[in-house]
Amino acid sequence: MFDNILFIVFPYTAVTIAIAVTIYRFAFDPYSYSSQSSQFLENRILFFGSVPWHYGVIIVLLGHLTALLFPGLWGLFTANQIRLYVLEITGLSLALMATVGLVLLFYRRLSNARAQAVTSELDWVLLIVLLLQVGLGFWVAYYYRWGSDWYLHTAVPWLVSLLKFQPDITFVTALPFWVKFHFINGFTIILLLPFTRLVHLLVYPISYLWREHQVVIWNKSRHY
Amino acid sequence: MDIRAHVSMVFHLDKCIGCHTCSIACKNIWTDRKGTEYMWWNNVETKPGTGYPTLWEDQEKYKGGWEKKNGDLKLKLHSRLKGLGNIFYNPFLPTLDDYYEPWTYDYENLFNAPEGDDQPTARAISMVTGKPMDNIEAGPNWDDDLGGSPIYARNDVNLDELTEDEREQLNELERVVFFYLPRICNHCLNPGCVAACPAGAIYKRGEDGIVLIAQDKCRAWRMCISGCPYKKTYYNWASGKSEKCILCYPRLESGQPPACFHSCVGRIRYLGVLLYDADQIEKCASVPDEELVAAQRAMIMDPFDPAVIAAAKKNKISDAMIASAQNSPVYKFVKKWGLALPLHPDFRTLPMLYYVPPMLPVLAKTKDGNYDVDGAKGENTFAPLSASLPAMLSSLEKARMPIKYMASMFSAGNVKVVEDVYRKLIAVRIFKRAQTVKDYQQAEVDAALAAGKTDAEEVEAIFRLTALPTYEERFVVPPLAREVAVEAWEKPLDRKTDAGFGVRNKINRRKF
């Protein structure tokens, strides 16, 4: 029963709330969609924190996503021992990079008076949850080795079952506590996403690659 | 020919007294909110000097504006891909310390301090952290009037062109010279901020050319701050949005000039419409440095030319707007008389705020503790009678501030362009002095007019608009006609019954 709440009810609730609130916020409060950058106030530690954190976590997340979307290909890739080694080492290093970056960002918010001036309670909650998540991820990857492979046979089928609206938690109930914690904390982040500055990841300005350099907006459409 | 209208500006630097009234007018209206305390959408700086933010002109430091790379015009800051890659940390972002940490004072302490032997003091309190500031190390006009210039002004990048000797001479007591440079957003034709914004939140209004940041679209990627070579977009650290001068568009739309224009004590500011050919923007921004000013003048079109008027009408520019362009003081200063120059055209953003450079104080030297009259003879443009013709006309070269400095600021290093402006300004002075003080020979006046490539009629017109302009002559505020423009997407009458009580929570009980 408890497992059902954790692995079925909570994920569905988190995702539903996340989608609903994200859309609501975008429609009715677009002004609040901002990365709330504090680089202007503190520049130095930010570099050593923000850059490794973002690049580390984005690549690791893309790895998670790729394995979820293309489990077959991913399985073929990890079937070779050398490739599995490379993948594990890369993943671990990136996770370490992200963790170190986030610890620095945490320290920055604690120690710098200017950064403190723009840090809300919710920012702290988000920081702690994120730190917990990358910490757990690193821990799991290190102690329960070959996660890039067993992930395919545990979390992936569970997530796919959730996506298909035929929830099946047998894949995950027997996993160690820390692994489960990582899953649940992941959905906690999804739940927090629309309420925090994390929404900035949804508006990553990819269109900059192709938009015209100059933007001119006319009040009236000109007829020519 | 793609004719567009642009609300443009001229600042006449000779008339600026450095009183900062414009800055205060702007501050009180727009930037007294939390997170904007450090912003001065309008600021006045002393030149030579490093300005605000410190060294804003140094594009090796901030990478603002455009550069020509292999014949192409490129943002100095980043390519598109690099822009997205640097989004987690912008390596060229000025930080609060490049501006200054805004502060207030703990005035309460003056009233509430317990009785003691010493007078209570009001300590400086940071408006960012709320903590006391023991050392105030910078302000928005920290090197005002050359304050601390051996430390600050010597770093002015415009001095780079000068020889070591010339730089040394600027520090000599009798040669010390400075002037004021009031700055607002230039509302450029090829803005770096717009091009640098990853979110595409910054845009130029088609009808009047005002550059604005859509607050709902800004995501604090903060590339505009680096991308603007004039450092005229600012980051509101509290709201997490960039903000900038909006040319007081709510005032413009109701027929008033912007607050900084309106409040200007020296009446140095002029506002008017320019008609320009938008097809030429890219070409004009790409010409070699020494041709930039000429190219920018060339893309400004004659509002009396029937072909231009026809093209403007084709682009739905109203008759009233065209009339406004014909009456524009900016057109006269920039194009007709060629007296006003863009600030740092070398940034290639095609700024639409133009400056009439100040008449430089002329050389004066002391010899054995006395003012050297012979040495200074003929070097004063007003020097009565004694002024021999050649000396009078050479005074420009002997100006205390080398002309190269002005060229570095206003003509991308093209000395000829700045010289032409000064010759004409000198001609105006000599002509009017001959009229009123009557101490110049007609031959001298004629020579001055010839050197300035001008004539009596034009000189009178320049004098009139420089010295005696009325409010209506300085500010030819065009009819922006927003009330008409909204008809494009809203029926005005739809709103008629929607105002007043009960609007926020609509009452839907009545069915008719």
Give B285-328 as a DSSP string.
HHS-GGGHHHHHHHHEE-TT-HHHHHHHHHTT--HHHHHHHHT-
B337 near B458, Cβ under 8 Å?
yes
Q: In the predicted model, is pLDDT for residue B386 greater than 70? A: no
Contact B222 A40 (CB under 8 A): yes
pLDDT band at B167 (very low <50, low <70, confident <90, very high): confident
Chain B residues with beta carbon closer than 8 angstroms to that of A50: 88-89
B485 vs A35, A219, A223: nearest CB: A219
Q: Is the pLDDT of residue B126 over 80?
A: yes
pLDDT digits (tens, 9 = 90+) for B486-495: 676 677 677 6
| A92-144 tens-digit pLDDT | 999 999 999 999 999 999 999 999 999 999 999 999 999 999 999 999 999 99
Q: How confident is the model at residue B275 (pLDDT cuts 50, 70, 90)?
A: very high
- CATH class label, A2-209: mainly alpha
Confidence of residue A8 (pLDDT cuts 50, 70, 90): very high
- pLDDT of residue A60 exceeding 80, the answer is yes
Average pLDDT over residues A148-176: 92
Cis bond before residue B53 (omega within 30° of 0): yes
Is 70 exceeded by the pLDDT of residue A158? yes
Tens-digit pLDDT profile for residues B137-165? 999 999 999 887 778 888 899 988 888 88
Residue numbers in B near A42 (CB within 8 A): 95
Rounded average pLDDT over B322-343: 97
Position B343 scores a pLDDT of: 97
Looking at the complex, report in whole angstroms how far the Cα of residue B386 sits from the nearest Cα belonging to chain A.
Answer: 56
Return the residue of A nearest to B207 by Cα: A218
What does the pLDDT average to over A168-185?
93
Q: Which residues pair with B139 in a beta bridge?
A: none
User: Residue B487's closest chain A neighbor by CA?
Assistant: A220
Which of A28, A29, A34, A44 should we substitute to test contact with B (largest number of B Cβ atoms within 10 Å)?
A34
Q: Is B119 exposed, middle or buried (0-12, 13-18, 19+ CB in 10 A)?
A: exposed
Average pLDDT in chain B: 88
Which amino acid, B438? K
CB B200 within 8 A of CB B217: yes
**More confident position, B202 or B374:** B202
pLDDT over 70 percentage in chain B: 87
Cβ-Cβ pairs closer than 8 A, A with B, add up to 135
| pLDDT at B512 > cutoff 60 | no
Interface membership of A30 toward B (CB under 8 Å): yes
**Average pLDDT rounded to a whole number, residues B113-133:** 94
Considering CB atoms only, which of B84, B94, B240 is closest to A209? B84
* Rounded CA separation B314/A223 (Å): 8
B237–A208: do the CB atoms touch at under 8 Å?
no
Of A41, A208, A220, the CB nearest to B84: A208
Mean pLDDT, range B40-57, rounded to an integer:
94
Strands B179-183 and B43-47: antiparallel
- What mean pLDDT do residues B93-118 have? 94
pLDDT band at A224 (very low <50, low <70, confident <90, very high): very low
- CA–CA dist B62, A85 (Å, integer): 43
pLDDT at B364 over 70: no
Q: Hey, is the C-beta of A12 within 8 angstroms of any chain B C-beta?
A: no
pLDDT of residue B383: 39
A30-51: per-residue pLDDT in tens? 999 999 999 999 999 999 999 9
pLDDT in the model for residue B376: 46
Give the percent of chain B with pLDDT over 90.
70
Residue of B2, B66, B88, B133 to mutate for A, most A C-beta atoms under 10 A: B88
Sign of the C-alpha dihedral, residues A177, A182, A185, A190?
A: negative
> A177-192 and A10-28 helices cross at what angle (nearest 10)?
20
Label residue B330 by pLDDT band (50, 70, 90).
very high
Q: Are A151 and A109 in contact (CB under 8 A)?
A: no
Reported confidence tier of residue B387, pLDDT bands at 50, 70, 90 = very low
| HSE-up (13 A, CA, CB side) for residue B350 | 27
pLDDT over 50 (residue B472): yes
Instruction: Using the predicted structure, report yes or no on whether residue B310 has a pLDDT greater than 70.
Output: yes
| DSSP H or E run through B444 | helix B442-451
Contact B131 A113 (CB under 8 A): yes
Q: What's the pLDDT score for residue A209?
A: 96
Q: Does A44 contact chain B (CB < 8 Å)?
A: no
Residue type, B41: W
d(CA B473, CA A97): 63
Report the candidate in B318, B305, B343, B358 with the shortest Cα–Cα distance to residue B482. B318
List, in sequence order, the alpha helices (H) in B46-174: 59-62, 80-85, 96-99, 108-112, 164-170
**Nearest by CB: A35 against B200, B216, B240:** B240
Q: How are strands ordered across the β-sheet holding B202-205?
A: A216-217, B202-205, B211-213
- The pLDDT of A216-224, averaged and rounded, is 66
Q: Quick check: A222 and B95 CB within 8 A? A: no
Residue in B closest to A26 by C-alpha:
B216
Residues 99-138 of chain A with CB under 8 A from chain B are 113-114, 116-118
Residue A169, both tokens: 């938690």
Q: Which of A113, A216, A223 lies closest to B203 in CB terms?
A: A216
Whether B221 and A35 lie within 8 Å, measured CB to CB: yes
State residue B122's pLDDT score.
94
3-state secondary structure of A51: helix
Dig out the tokens for B183 from the structure: 């700055």
Distance from CA of A70 to the nearest CA of B (A): 26
Question: Is A51 at the interface with chain B, CB within 8 A?
Answer: yes
Q: Which residues of A touch B205 (CB under 8 A)?
A: 216-219
Q: How much is the pTM?
A: 0.91
Q: B90, A117: Cβ pair inside 8 Å?
A: no
Residue in A closest to B75 by C-alpha: A213
Contact B184, B232 (CB under 8 A): yes
Interface test with B, best of A219, A221, A223 (most B CBs within 10 A): A219
Q: How confident is the model at residue B171 (pLDDT cuts 50, 70, 90)?
A: confident
A119 to chain B: nearest residue by CA?
B238
What's the pLDDT score for residue B443? 87
Q: What is the mean pLDDT of residues B196-216?
A: 95
Average pLDDT over residues B331-352: 97
Give residue B381's pLDDT: 40
Partners of residue A48 in chain B, C-beta under 8 Å? none
pLDDT at B380 over 70: no
**Interchain contact, A219 vs B131, CB within 8 Å:** no
Q: CB of A28 within 8 Å of any CB in chain B?
A: no
> B75 to chain A: which residues are within 8 Å by CB?
213
Does A41 sit within 8 Å of B96, measured CB to CB? Answer: yes
CB contact under 8 A, A30 and B216: yes
State the pLDDT at residue B441.
Answer: 85
Please choose, from the candidates B233, B229, B181, B174, the residue with its C-alpha nearest in 3D space to the C-alpha of residue B202.
B233
The CA distance from B315 to the nearest CA of chain A, in Å, is: 7
Residues B154 and B136: their CA atoms lie apart, in Å, by: 21
Inspect the interface and report whether the beta carbons of B96 and A114 lie closer than 8 Å. yes
Of the ranges A85-89, B112-116, B257-261, which is most confident? B257-261
pLDDT band of B394, cuts 50, 70, 90: very low
Quick check: B128 and A41 CB within 8 A?
A: yes
Flag whether pLDDT at B74 surpasses 70.
yes
Distance, CA of A223 to CA of B315 (rounded, Å): 7
Average pLDDT over residues B364-382: 48
Instruction: Name the pairing type of β-strands B72-75 and B66-69.
Output: antiparallel
Q: How far apart are CA B471 and CA A222, in angstroms?
A: 33
- B315:A38 CB<8 A: no
